[in-house]
Amino acid sequence: MGERIVEVVVIGAGPGGYVAAIRAAQLGKKVLVVEKEALGGVCLNVGCIPSKAMIAAGNLKHRIENAGSMGLHVSKVEVRVDELVKWKAGIVKKLTGGIGALFKNHRIEHLSGVARFKTPGQIEVQGKEGTTLVRYQDAVIATGSRPIEVPGFPFDEKHVWSSTGALEPDRIPRHLLVIGGGYIGLELGFFYRKLGSEVTVVEMLDTILVGQDPELVEVVARSLRKRGVKVHQRTKAIGYDVKGSFLVVRLEREGRPETLDVDQILSCVGRRPNSDGLGLENIGLEPDGKGFLEVDSQRRTKVAHVYAIGDVAGQPMLAHKASHEGTAAAQAIAGVRGAAFDPVGVPAVIFTDPEIASVGLTEAEARSRGFDPVVGKFPFAASGRAMTLGDTDGFAKVVAEKTTGVVLGVHLVGPEVTELIAEAGLALEMGATLEDLSSTIHAHPTLPETLMEAAEAVHGLSVHVYQPRAAGKRS
């Protein structure tokens, strides 16, 4: 058995783990990272990056095919699936290779294998070449999450895709069934629809995109209908049978049995934290009923010198949240004064068509927390830049506290809003007011002008949409 002695061991090299490792090394710590698969974790290899690459390709195909209104006419766009997948893989390879180079530059040791706590201060790593004992002073658990399987639909990546399988297609399905109306299922549903698949979405609940502002969701739901994507809410997927080249899926729609013939199933109903199999019981640590580990503001668990970040540390299960938690944990380990994960808001971005982006409180959430909220909205249909892009669906919404004007939340649905949300996040972190947003000169013509106009709209003073004087006048 080999042995390593380090100051910090990080279990998992996803967007939380590799960031924690690099920051700890920057602060002078001797760091070892254990990863059982590829550097970059789910996000870089089979999640955020490859899915957005594929979605970008689908969007480009769609724009080319619908450019006739601009006087640009193309007879047909040919999709070569093998070349598309190869292009996507090239992006992933560059990014994961970059992490390896950063590890080397920061003298971070990378050990490939499966980690398990043996005792406080020790983990065992089972790799291809045997077992290695790692003695550590501080440990960071950054093991991420995995897709949840629906009973009756085990992942075989042939008939039933997980999100991973959906990013490695060997063909474009004729008819794709998406189980789950959350953001992953809808992002991929839009993508395959643009590639030519017939797409049906089934969702057990009475709405898609649960947790998002209903007004934003309605814009996306309208887009789904417009593009011919069928969405069946209050519908449960029971199981399926293989009948030649078809998959006969058994459904229960509002209590009534139905069947649907498709040739591919994509199951996306959520993710489960990877907190099992780590030997946590050997150090006196136990996840809650959902598999999450309780942590404090510095991401410390109840066990001394053991931290948890990312998906195992609770909702929201987002890569950028994991990265910032990794920074906080590394700084806490290094003794940086004031180190903590304490954001005003964690932005959420959804790459549907149109896109959704949100940070902070909705109007309903603000009211439930005792605020007296006011709201301003500005439609992309009144944005000159959106018109030049040929993409005017959606709006910007700003929620603020009535008396002080402090911005409480920003919620966007429309073109490229995933790029606009950073300004809103900064506004929340800095305690910006409506006047701060509206008096900031925004370049013209650009999409961020919609945030400025939405802030003005709170007081009925948006210039580029008509608002009756009854809407009020800013004092």
| Number of Cβ within a 10 Å radius of residue 151 | 8
Residue 185 sits at φ, ψ, to 5 deg, of: -60, -40
Task: Tell me how far apart the 2 most distant CA atoms of the chain are, in Å.
Answer: 78
Strands 198-203 and 175-179, sheet pairing: parallel
From the candidates 159, 444, 459, 464, which is the catalytic residue?
A: 444
**First vs last C-alpha separation in the chain:** 74
From the DSSP assignment, how many helices (H) and strands (E) are in the chain?
Answer: 13, 24
DSSP, collapsed to helix, strand or coil, labels residue 230 as strand
Using the 8-state DSSP alphabet, how is residue 458 labeled? T
Residue 236 sits at φ, ψ, to 5 deg, of: -110, 135
The secondary structure element, H or E, covering residue 300 is none
Which residues partner with 118 through β-bridges?
none
Tokens 């406080």 label which residue? 120
Angle (CA) 95-97-102 rounded to 5° is 95
Using the 8-state DSSP alphabet, how is residue 282 labeled? G
Per the CB < 8 A criterion, the answer to whether 176 and 264 are in contact is yes
Distance of CA 274 to the CA centre of its chain: 17
> Is-catalytic flag, 444?
yes
Residue 3 sits at φ, ψ, to 5 deg, of: -145, 140
Half-sphere exposure of 318 (CA within 13 A, CB side): 12
State both tokens at 226.
């417009």
- Sign of dihedral through CA atoms 231, 317, 437, 440? negative
User: How many residues belong to the chain?
Assistant: 475
CA distance linking residue 54 with residue 327, whole number of Å: 29
CA distance linking residue 289 with residue 244, whole number of Å: 41
Per the CB < 8 A criterion, the answer to whether 172 and 54 are in contact is no
Tokens 């971070």 label which residue? 108
State both tokens at 113.
């294998």
What type of residue sits at position 371?
F
State the catalytic residues: 444
